[in-house]
Amino acid sequence: MLTKIEKKIIASLQGNIPVTSRPFLELAKEIGISEDEYLEVVENLNERGIIRRFGATLKHQNSGFKANAMVAWKVDEERVQDVGKTMASFQEVTHCYRRNPAPTWPYNLYTMVHGPDEESCHKIAARISKATCVDEYSLLFSKKELKKTSMNYFT
């Protein structure tokens, strides 16, 4: 069971975290507690496995990355772990997932790559292909973002 204050802190972390030198101080003030108490509760939630990580989302379109592609890879199952680790090590890869293939779609490993243009994404995929010896892949480019939100557990 979570306490009221734990729920308030989780709710405060679901939104945008202030870009300041002491963001947790500002968040703590918003819910009426000290920064020390706020951080103590966050640390406790982390130790209990309730909060596992913090993530930041960068609007890649505003930072010079105008293209992104989901690259679908066909990888032998016995190589998925090793190939996935290699693919994930590329700085241009932000996501790397293993999924079950479908009868008409044989791909089982997916990476999201970002670049300044579509040609760059193709070059990144070619470098990954060469590094992993996986030559069966397809690039699926994003054309329009229809929805992108984070989970909200508490309001």
Query: What tens digit of pLDDT does each residue of 101-152 get?
Result: 999 999 999 999 988 899 999 999 999 999 999 999 999 998 887 776 667 7
With bands split at pLDDT 50, 70 and 90, how would you rate the model's confidence at 97? very high
Would the pTM of this model clear 0.75, i.e. be above it? Answer: no
Distances (CA, A) of 150 to 46, 74, 144: 19, 29, 18
Query: What tens digit of pLDDT does each residue of 77-96 get?
Result: 999 999 999 999 999 998 99
**Boundaries of CATH 3.30.70.3460 in the chain?**
60-141
At 97, phi and psi to the nearest 5? Answer: -130, 145
The CB-side HSE value for 144 (13 A sphere, CA atoms) comes to: 1
Q: Is domain 60-141 classified as CATH 3.90.1010.10? A: no
Nearest-angstrom CA–CA distance, 73 and 93: 13
